[in-house]
Amino acid sequence: MDIRQELARFANELGFELVGVCRPEPMAGLSHVRLWVQEGWHGDMAFMESSLELREDLENVLPGVRSVIAVGLNYYQELEPEPGTPKLARYALGRDYHKLMRSKLRKLGRDLSENFPSVRFRPCVDSAPTLDRELAQRAGLGWFGKNTCLINSQRGSWFLIGLLLTTADIDPDPPAIGSCGTCRACIDACPTGAIKMLNGRWSVDSRVCISALTIENKTATVDALVATTDGWTFGCDICQEVCPFNQPRESQPLRAQVTREQDFLDRRVWPTLVRIAQWTESDWDTATEGSAARRAKVEQWRRNARANLRQAGITEPCEPLLPEERDS
């Protein structure tokens, strides 16, 4: 039995548009990540510094690992927030992709295990100490754009990456090769100038990246965010929106194709920015349950909403609503 054929079939049945395999060789990009951290460009993401040693060897994640299966899941859909409501990055519009992809990867591992019972698997979706984009690039899913997103020449960059580490010995795919050429669309469109050169390589300075400011940064003030967030409440898609590889073309019908994943298309209804600016812990807990937007805590949501309101010229409320006021 050809494990590659089985892998492709199972992955397709689970809805993954991209699948490839690479070896668990040492992470070539780790030296750049170290420099990125040393320069402080990781911002408030202290976990990036504390996990550097773990990222050196995938044996730390799955002992006996022989291969890495990388998958890509399209999450693109139109973004049309109603006036006065929060503006979220597209990956956070529906169900939490971490849970969805982890479930799919477990199923992929189980399907393969039925034919290869001695093989072990471990699914990884953002949370394990791995360099997901480097492994996906080595597995042929896409190449690094100047905005550091992984770009697939046929599909663009609107896909989420999942990894399935395994002790199975699977022939690897050739790495993806591509280039942005002289294009500067993402660099010029970024409102905060977060895309910069670091030691000859395009990188993102998380200290001024809108996505990091609205999600990871816990100390920025409302005043600081008024000048930087450009109307975004959670995350940011600007650098992908302007990327030529994400523009629909007759010759590339897979670009900017709306996701087939119903869990992503089933958007939740968010309260108004005025209400979010007054959220209590209980309000936040209810509203973000089962969403990737839960990554930002209630204080950050209130702060971001107030910054958005000021950007729109609306005076934001100062205090959370009292229980007896919420329905008035």
Distances (CA, A) of 310 to 87, 115, 218, 230, 231: 14, 58, 19, 11, 10
The two tokens of residue 273 are 């920015």
Catalytic, out of 44, 57, 126, 173: 126
Is 126 catalytic? The answer is yes
Is there a contact between 311 and 231 (Cβ–Cβ < 8 Å)?
Answer: yes
Could you give the CA distance from residue 101 to residue 218 in angstroms, rounded to a whole number? 27
Distance CA 96, CA 227 (A): 29
Q: Which two tokens stand for residue 221?
A: 């003030």
The candidate with the shortest Cα–Cα distance to 242, out of 321, 124, 158, 326, is 158
In angstroms, rounded to a whole number, what is the distance separating the alpha carbons of residues 311 and 209? 17
Angle at 327 between CA 326 and CA 328, to 5 degrees: 95
List, by residue number, the catalytic residues. Answer: 126
